[in-house]
Structure 1
Amino acid sequence: MSGGRLSLLIIGGYGTFGGRLARLLGDEPRLRLLIAGRSLEKADDFVAELRSPRGWAGRLGSNDLGAWLQAVAFDRDGDLIEQLTRLRPDLVVDASGPFQSFGEDPYKVVRACIALDIDYADLADSTGFVAGIGGLDAEARAKGVFALSGLSSLPALSFAALAAMAPQFSRIDSVAAGIAPSAHVKIGLNVVRAISSYAGKPVAVLREGRPAAGSGLIDDMRVTIAPPGVAPLASRNFLLVDAPDLALLPQHVPGLQSTFTGVGTEPQALQRLLGLAARLVRLRLLPSLRPFSRVLQEASHRFALGAHRGGMFVRAGGLDRDGRRITSSWDLIAEGDDGPFIPVIGVEALVRRQLEGIRPESGARPAAGELSLADFEAAFRRFKITSGIRLDYEEEAQPLYRRILGSAWQQLPPALAAIHAGGTRLASGRARIERGGGFIARLVAGVIGFPPAGDDVPVAVRFAADGDREIWTRTFGGKTFRSWQAEGKGGARHLLAEVFGPFRVLLALVPEGQRLRLVVRGWRFLGVPLPLFLAPGGETYEEERDGRFHFHVEIGGRLTGLVVRYSGWLVLE
């Protein structure tokens, strides 16, 4: 400690992830933050910006930061003992990378820290680097310091999520994890270099319980990231990446049969081109994609298309305590620019715990299992980050809405839960109906069979289960129209699919207080996907009011204007 402050040296402190870590910890008056890198000028500029935050950075900073800040020059290829002795940090965090290319002595920074009794942590995503740090365990224990590698999304957060799901299982057979960055987040060059280094190259995985060689950025799996209670990310393919989890999981999960770690980027068309390039490497038509790292980075920046949302998933399959086959999935969605903070939240949690006197055990090891999911979730509250666990029993039928909502079902008010409890049931009430006057609106309403406008119209709705779908028959003042609902398949998984005549509308179920909002996420006409910006929209929700189920449905679009709007209440008979 220096002057009562914990001295933290961040190598790569003005970079993509080191800079975000500095922003997260800048409010802590018990810290001395040393922003380090090869360029003292860049470090100075970053510290000046941090002291006078502007734009997006201002949300996580202030002019009175609290932490003591200093820009310093640091060269990992220089005299490490001299530099560390002069700077006197209590903890070194290496946020530079890429750890895949640290040369013949990749652990020289770690060794120097141990020699000088300095604690160490990093954000490494290199399987070899993270898995191999245990070779320094005896030295670290003898010195009474810790050296934790991979304190990032993979493996620290992924293992924390897996540990939270593990009590549901008697046996875990498969584990898959993946990261889906927002297309609008600027990916750092070091990240691109790391990924491109193993494109088309063998990646060690487990298949049928045996070591096998997957193909980097070629092998894939399709996943819909859908935390309970929020609109899911668009379904996407995840390409196999070489992450530390692949080496660590077999050591932590006895009897594990299969493993996968992947990345799913948007736009998917660009990712498919990357997969094709990886195949050229596998066919030995190209030696490596690493020389094209800058081109790949520029392409990802130039073609930033899609929603500004990112996510992550960890999925486990196996048997529960009663021998039933289950799949459990922890999913996370980060809105806007919040996603790139996730890889550094583990280090932030470690530092704040250390300031409270909670110190990791001495020794050198991967950071898998070092933090709990609760440690991460506490930090998520500062951001627009939502996460949650879904548990699916393969042989157990559940009511449609409960199946889609997962654990968010518990958030529904009693009146809404009763309406969506499944089975055959009848509800009746009153409604007010408005109709659009445009030609196209009247044509669409006629095709579907929407009722005419009216006030205080008697309404009855019959819900009937039909296999894995529900048929809703609505009667407004003697006028009947019908739709059926089911869970979306494939890319529409975790969405509610409702079919009105030739139209299929995909809806996200989003609980908000006493309401359940239905948000349009896609639509089709005669099976043909149509542009989302032309989709039928409007405010549609259900809510409990005075103990009754109330509904508000609005259907319209850019081409049609208002088609129909009906609202009212129902009670079960």
Structure 2
Amino acid sequence: MSGERLSLLIIGGYGTFGGRLARLLGDEPRLRLLIAGRSLAKADDFLADLRSPKDGSEGLGSTNLGARLQAVAFDRDGDLIEQLTRLQPDLVIDASGPFQSFGEEPYKVVRACINLGIDYADLADSTGFVAAIGGLDAEAREQGIFALSGLSSLPALSFAALDVVAPQFARIESVAAGIAPSSHVKIGRNVVGAIASYAGKDVPRLRDGKATRGRGLIDTMRVTVAPPGAVPLRSRKFLLVDAPDLALLPARFAGLQSTFTGVGTEPLPLQSVLALFAQLVRWRLLPSLAPFSRLMQRASHAFARGEHRGGMFVQASGIDAAGKRLTAGWHLIAEGDDGPFIPAIAAEVLVRRLLAGERPAPGARAAAGELRLADFEAAFRRFSITTGMRRECEAEAQPLYRQILGITFDRLPPAVAAIHAGGARTASGRARIERGGGWLARVVARLIGFPKAGKDVPVTVRFAAEGDREIWTRTFGDKSFRSILMEGNGRDRHLLAEVFGPFRVLIALVPEGERLRLVVRGWRFLGIPLPLFLAPGGETYEEERDGRFHFHVEIGGPLTGLVVRYTGWLVVE
């Protein structure tokens, strides 16, 4: 360390990811942060913005800044030895990119750091760059410094998640990972340029245990990103991208049969256009999408539609210790503008570990497996980020709600958990029922069989299990109606599907404090998807009060108004 502070040079320090790294570390008084780039004026402007108080995590205000900040000019194509000697950093983090286009001397910054005995790390997402940095391992060891490449979502975070998932398996046969950015995120030019460089071109991957060639932005995998207990992202296709994991995974898991890394671009029309243009490259009607990267970036900004949420998944499949087939994975959802900080958090974790005296071993290598998932999840706490594990094992039958909620089921209040314990059971109690007065509300209520309005109405619910489904028969006074509940499949995975006659309502189960909230995420009529804004909904939740299960159910919509509201309590008999 230089004096009492660790001197950190961030190349590309005012760029998309370097700037976010600076914001993440700006509160650390033990740091001297050198914000570097070709333009000193841009570096100065960035620091002025960083120091100005703002609301939210994007602008860690002036009262939060403890690091000593300095804007510096740095040209990676200039005299690196002279620049680094003058700036005297203890650690260089390269956040510039795109690393795919570093030319004939891709490692000149790394070599300069090794020659001067300066530790190095980068946020590279280029498979070739990350996988081949090990060629400098002997030189780095001799100097006693570390050079870690790929401190980003893929592979640093993905391998940290795999290290937690892997012990559940006796043999892992396939691994897949994907990033689903919010459509509202302003994607940087370098990121778009990297994707454009391999769109429609061969991407090395494993399939059926053999090294083969996938098709960039053409090969697909459908996944629903759904941390247990969170509202899932909408199911989406992930398009194959060239990520370092594809080169690193075969060495990590002997006998691996299949690998996939993808990006789940939203909205769907934009994804379809990208896939179409990638096909044009594949058919050699276009040489490359690289010349269109600026247009692609503008299109991604213009198509900012839908929910402002993003996510990530890491999933493994194989055989567990009992010889059963198992699929297990780690899921993440980030709300609003918090998602774009995730690629920079690996570098933040590295720096904070250095400040705590935890130093990586000397040598040059990919950053896969260097960091712990617990370190990432501790850093996530300052953001609206939800994570969790999911597992699906053959012949491992579970009650419906436990199957959907996963490990979060164990956090439900006892009375709520007892209602959803599975198997045949009966619960009884009392309820208050309110009915909507509109003619369409009355038609819908009659069609489904909802009870009439009443106060202190006796209620009985009989639960019957049929395979992976549950049938609920609700009796209010002398009026009964029933629904069939199951976990959704395909596009509706990880959602509760409740069938009322010709209607199927798709519901997210979300534990929130002492309540279990039920959030409508879609609906169908005779299997035909209907607009979500017309879906039946309202404030619906379950909770425990005075040791008893209480329910609050509202069903209505913009066309019908209130159809029915019933509230009350139940006790399992």
TM-score bracket, shorter-length normalisation: over 0.9
CA distance in 1, matches of 2:394, 2:306: 33
- Map of 2:388 onto structure 1: 388
SS of the residue 2:198 aligns to:
coil
Q: Which residue type is aligned with residue 422 of structure 1?
A: G
Query: Which range moves more in the overlay, 176-185 or 466-475?
Result: 466-475
CA distance in 2, matches of 1:554, 1:43: 53
Structure 2 alignment gaps of length 5 or more? none
- Map of 2:362 onto structure 1: 362
- Map of 1:266 onto structure 2: 266
- Map of 1:89 onto structure 2: 89
Cα shift readout 1:316-367 (whole Å, capped 9, x = no counterpart): 0011111111100100000000001000111101101101111111100000
SS of the residue 1:106 aligns to:
coil
CA distance in 2, matches of 1:454, 1:164: 52
Q: Are residue 341 (structure 1) and residue 341 (structure 2) matched?
A: yes
- Map of 2:513 onto structure 1: 513
Q: Which residue type is aligned with residue 203 of structure 1?
A: V
CA contact 2:518–2:540 (8 Å) conserved in 1? yes
CA distance in 1, matches of 2:85, 2:53: 31
CA contact 2:26–2:64 (8 Å) conserved in 1? no
Q: Are residue 229 (structure 1) and residue 229 (structure 2) matched?
A: yes
- Map of 2:541 onto structure 1: 541
Cα shift readout 1:229-266 (whole Å, capped 9, x = no counterpart): 00000000000000000000001111111000000011
Cα shift readout 1:471-493 (whole Å, capped 9, x = no counterpart): 11100000011111111111110
- Map of 2:328 onto structure 1: 328
SS of the residue 1:431 aligns to:
strand
- Map of 2:295 onto structure 1: 295
CA distance in 2, matches of 1:58, 1:254: 42
CA distance in 1, matches of 2:431, 2:168: 44
- Map of 1:60 onto structure 2: 60
* RMSD, aligned α-carbons: 1.0
Q: Which residue type is aligned with residue 455 of structure 1?
A: K
CA distance in 1, matches of 2:392, 2:246: 24
Q: Which residue type is aligned with residue 245 of structure 1?
A: D
CA distance in 1, matches of 2:295, 2:64: 40
- Map of 1:191 onto structure 2: 191
CA distance in 2, matches of 1:522, 1:56: 31
TM-aligned CA deviation for residue 64 of structure 1: 5.0
- Map of 1:430 onto structure 2: 430
Q: Are residue 316 (structure 1) and residue 293 (structure 2) matched?
A: no
CA contact 1:27–1:61 (8 Å) conserved in 2? no
Instruction: Give the 3 Å change call, closer, same or farther, for CA 211–526 of structure 1 in structure 2.
Output: same
TM-aligned CA deviation for residue 55 of structure 1: 5.0
- Map of 2:449 onto structure 1: 449
- Map of 1:214 onto structure 2: 214
CA distance in 1, matches of 2:324, 2:156: 29
TM-aligned CA deviation for residue 395 of structure 1: 2.3
Question: Normalization by structure 1: what TM-score?
Answer: 0.99
- Map of 2:178 onto structure 1: 178
Cα shift readout 1:369-392 (whole Å, capped 9, x = no counterpart): 000100101100010001010111
CA distance in 1, matches of 2:58, 2:134: 39
- Map of 1:77 onto structure 2: 77
CA distance in 2, matches of 1:424, 1:97: 59
CA contact 2:198–2:216 (8 Å) conserved in 1? yes
Q: Which residue type is aligned with residue 507 of structure 1?
A: I
Structure 1 alignment gaps of length 5 or more? none
SS of the residue 2:389 aligns to:
strand
TM-aligned CA deviation for residue 59 of structure 1: 5.2
- Map of 2:304 onto structure 1: 304
- Map of 2:110 onto structure 1: 110
CA contact 1:168–1:321 (8 Å) conserved in 2? yes
SS of the residue 2:132 aligns to:
helix
TM-aligned CA deviation for residue 186 of structure 1: 0.3
SS of the residue 1:286 aligns to:
coil
SS of the residue 1:465 aligns to:
strand
CA contact 2:54–2:60 (8 Å) conserved in 1? no
CA distance in 1, matches of 2:423, 2:340: 44
CA distance in 2, matches of 1:536, 1:260: 38
CA contact 2:431–2:568 (8 Å) conserved in 1? yes
- Map of 1:158 onto structure 2: 158
- Map of 1:13 onto structure 2: 13
Q: Are residue 409 (structure 1) and residue 409 (structure 2) matched?
A: yes
CA contact 1:509–1:519 (8 Å) conserved in 2? yes
Q: Which residue type is aligned with residue 175 of structure 1?
A: V
Q: Which residue type is aligned with residue 116 of structure 1?
A: L
Question: Normalization by structure 2: what TM-score?
Answer: 0.99
CA distance in 1, matches of 2:399, 2:67: 52
CA distance in 2, matches of 1:284, 1:59: 45
Cα shift readout 1:448-501 (whole Å, capped 9, x = no counterpart): 111011010000011111221111110000001111111111111000011112
TM-aligned CA deviation for residue 394 of structure 1: 2.0
TM-aligned CA deviation for residue 410 of structure 1: 1.0
Q: Are residue 479 (structure 1) and residue 479 (structure 2) matched?
A: yes
CA contact 2:52–2:59 (8 Å) conserved in 1? no
Q: Which residue type is aligned with residue 415 of structure 1?
A: A
CA distance in 1, matches of 2:137, 2:268: 42
- Map of 2:532 onto structure 1: 532
Q: Which residue type is aligned with residue 432 of structure 1?
A: R
Query: Which range moves more in the overlay, 404-413 or 67-76?
Result: 404-413
Instruction: Give the 3 Å change call, closer, same or farther, for CA 541–469 of structure 1 in structure 2.
Output: same
CA distance in 2, matches of 1:113, 1:550: 63
Q: Which residue type is aligned with residue 321 of structure 2?
A: R
CA contact 2:483–2:500 (8 Å) conserved in 1? yes
CA distance in 2, matches of 1:533, 1:39: 47
Q: Which residue type is aligned with residue 522 of structure 1?
A: G
SS of the residue 2:203 aligns to:
strand
Q: Which residue type is aligned with residue 393 of structure 2?
A: Y
Report sequence identity in percent.
Answer: 78
CA contact 1:246–1:259 (8 Å) conserved in 2? yes
CA distance in 2, matches of 1:69, 1:53: 16
TM-aligned CA deviation for residue 53 of structure 1: 3.5
Q: Which residue type is aligned with residue 514 of structure 1?
A: E
SS of the residue 2:379 aligns to:
helix
Cα shift readout 1:81-140 (whole Å, capped 9, x = no counterpart): 111111110000000000000000100000000001100000000000000000000000
TM-aligned CA deviation for residue 57 of structure 1: 5.1
Q: Which residue type is aligned with residue 35 of structure 2?
A: I
CA contact 1:184–1:301 (8 Å) conserved in 2? yes
- The count of residues paired between Structure 1 and Structure 2 equals 573
CA distance in 2, matches of 1:525, 1:283: 40
CA contact 2:50–2:59 (8 Å) conserved in 1? no
Moved over 4 A (4+): 55-59
CA contact 2:473–2:482 (8 Å) conserved in 1? yes
CA distance in 2, matches of 1:430, 1:394: 39
CA distance in 1, matches of 2:152, 2:161: 13
Q: Which residue type is aligned with residue 548 of structure 1?
A: R
CA distance in 1, matches of 2:53, 2:191: 25
- Map of 1:34 onto structure 2: 34
CA distance in 1, matches of 2:58, 2:532: 33
CA contact 2:508–2:520 (8 Å) conserved in 1? yes
Instruction: Give the 3 Å change call, closer, same or farther, for CA 523–129 of structure 1 in structure 2.
Output: same
- Map of 2:257 onto structure 1: 257
